Amino acid sequence: MAKKKLKVAQQDWLPISEQVRACLRDCGQTRYRVAQATGIGEALLSRFAAGKTLGLSAKALDKLSKYLRLEVSMHGVVEQ
């Protein structure tokens, strides 16, 4: 699977959970396949993908990001 970079402009900033949902949706793999490869329950992945659960554990996010080959990059700090 090729490494994906989700390009997000500052005005189009998305929370990490939304970016992971987008990558999960666009990875070209079924949730069943992702669940089998990562050991994360398919039901949990389905609820996460549908936005019915707030998030995943750090362990699950680590597994998912490794499988999807995601990386986090910082574009600067937003001052409030």
Kindly state the percentage of the chain with pLDDT values over 90.
52
Q: What is the mean pLDDT of residues 52-66?
A: 90
pTM of the model: 0.71
Element of type H or E holding 25: helix 16-26
- Length of the chain counted residue by residue: 80
Q: Which amino acid is at 34?
A: V
Q: What is the mean pLDDT of residues 1-21?
A: 67
Q: Which domains does the chain have, with CATH numbers?
A: 14-68 (1.10.260.40)
CB 20 within 8 A of CB 64: yes
